[in-house]
Chains A and B, each alone.
Chain A
């Protein structure tokens, strides 16, 4: 089987590939290969022994009964392998297949690295394929819409500047009923913390901003949010291959913090945004590390618990399991802190197997969920293993400190009828912490 045997119609992929010619394809591919790739791609392509060990690592492959075209090396063979064999002279149809595979059948989760004796980074290879697709103008419609939104508004969800400020004021207003005196401070120069979120929070999950404000108010944090662009830490351009725009986004995010002279940025419960600031976007901008200290909320909550700043009224009674988001676990080693925080909050934790940095991905990350409805079944069928893992724990609540993971897990839970609820750490802290008596 090959990717073209399971072609899915996408409006934008159809439109974009229709205008391609083999000459144009060859020219673009070779410009990326010669201009942007180097020793890593050369070493990986020459030394991969085709041992197939990576097949057992990939949730897509396992969930499709080990169908080889879903194995990491099989996916590389159908994309970068094809490019190298044909010296970049692909047909438009092959480019369509390459884009569909790279954007929707690999979450860039890097689990396969744990299986490769050579240390081949499939995530890097598939990211390079996506970069080529971006330069060819061939990206799935829904994720390209988010990339356009980043270009147009500097956030992922077409949130206008006044809508952002209005959302914060609305949440502050709502929260003051429950927490008199609560503020969502905007543009406070010299605050300890700049709290940044991803744009789906004001757009779809505004209650998370409410919860964050409640928690930060509870612990007496000196915090602020920017009223100007830069408040959104998300980065779909990193996943489409639009690295120029990725650089602008990261610069804007850090400049918002620098203008306000904050001591550090605390990021909400999102994984990919964290990858963008410490791994990809920063390097594109030429920064070895990020110019303003950044911590993920898992780490921040861990600090708050260790400093005794969060006062709980009780612990969560029901047993929970923990989902380890790739970008903050395999990507930043927060697995121990995640467990410590969860154990502060919950009486019983039932671990999934495998877990920690050997976790299976939610199949939503890497921009896959952002490719939208046409490819939803790819995620659902490609992650049966996660449904099995969740079901095997026997619990009805999963803690997942990442937006994409929530989206992916909720779809899987619904599709496989698991009857499980997803929770952010913020959901649990807000639910369990001491609150003022109602007046």
Chain B
């Protein structure tokens, strides 16, 4: 068991990071190459000020028409993403790993706060599942890929919470948490989770068209 644990938290973790970073760089690089090769005319319209303006606007809760008219989804989406990034960086157990692996040390969240944020993420995921099942427009277009992405994004938080609560066999739960976290890292460049990589690019493009060419807001 210990050998497997050491493998999962050692070589497999490094491999996951390598695939995540390498895969992400490759996906972004190849997408930009494809754009240069096939759509160079459209790259020529890119406008950094309009791109940044739009990205910041869409990063502000309730600042856009889409966010305003979908208050529940907006709340869930922002809470999900904000808590996700906070937990990845500031969970006490993660802080130890950051220190151990990279020698980076910074203040961690109190365990209770970390648990509350994890529950918020799980709550948001439950909302996404519920919405995907009950909202007619979403159900109509949901495919296996959407469920896979949601499952991959949810698993690390459920297992993380259970591990922190010492649920069942603590070591197995921690193992599952690490494995699901690694699965999420690997999945980001190659599944719908790739919106994390491409959203800034697609947003920048449409923002440039709307702002610099059409002289209107894209929100």
- Seen from chain A, the residues whose Cβ lies within 8 Å of a Cβ on chain B are 36-40, 42-44, 46-57, 61, 66-69, 71, 73-74, 77, 81, 113-121, 278-279, 283, 286, 288, 329-333, 335, 357-358
Contacts and interface: CB of A to CB of B under 8 A. Distances in A.
Contacts of A54: 66
Interface string B21-40: 00000000001101101110
Contact of A119 (B65, B70, B202): B202
Nearest to B200: A119
Given A38-B38, A52-B138, A332 B215 contact: yes
A358 B66 CA distance: 11
A53 B73 contact: yes
Instruction: Among B66, B199, B217, find the residue whose CB has the most chain A CB atoms closer than 10 A.
Output: B66
Contacts of A115: 65-66, 69
A43 B202 contact: yes
A43 B70 contact: no
17 contacts: A38-B39, A39-B35, A39-B39, A40-B202, A42-B34, A43-B202, A46-B192, A46-B198, A48-B192, A50-B146, A52-B131, A53-B66, A56-B70, A57-B65, A114-B66, A288-B45, A330-B214
Given A68-B136, A73-B141, A332-B215, A49 B195 contact: yes
B141 A74 contact: yes
A67 B139 CA distance: 12
A117 B66 contact: yes
B106 interface: no
A351 B25 CA distance: 48
Contacts, number: 144
B66 A52 contact: no
A39 B140 contact: no
A357 B216 contact: yes
A81 B65 CA distance: 26
Contacts of B140: 68-69, 71, 74, 77
Interface residues of B, number: 54
Given A39-B39, A47-B198, A66 B214 contact: no
Closest 9 CB pairs of A and B: A38-B38, A333-B215, A68-B140, A39-B35, A119-B206, A115-B66, A52-B138, A55-B137, A52-B137
Interface in B119-176: 131-132, 135-143, 146, 149
B136 to A, nearest CB: 5
Contacts of A119: 54, 199, 202-203, 205-207, 218
Contacts of B206: 113, 119-121
Nearest to A65: B136
Contact of B141 (A57, A61, A77, A333): A77
Contacts of B142: 50
Contacts of A279: 213-214
B38 to A, nearest CB: 3
The A interface is mostly helix, strand or loop, or mixed, namely: helix
B199 A42 contact: no
B194 A47 contact: yes
B41 interface: yes
B42 interface: yes
A113 B54 CA distance: 12
Given A46-B192, A50-B146, A113-B210, A71 B137 contact: yes
Interface string B169-210: 000000000000000000000001011001101110111011
Given A49-B146, A53-B66, A55-B137, A118 B202 contact: yes
Contacts of B44: 288
A330 B66 CA distance: 16
Instruction: Among B39, B44, B140, B143, find the residue whose CB has the most chain A CB atoms closer than 10 A.
Output: B140
B57 to A, nearest CB: 11
B41 A56 contact: no
B206 to A, nearest CB: 4
Contact of A117 (B37, B58, B210): B58
Contacts of B69: 53, 56, 115
Instruction: Among B32, B132, B136, B201, find the residue whose CB has the most chain A CB atoms closer than 10 A.
Output: B136
Contacts of A114: 64-66, 217-219
B199 A333 contact: no
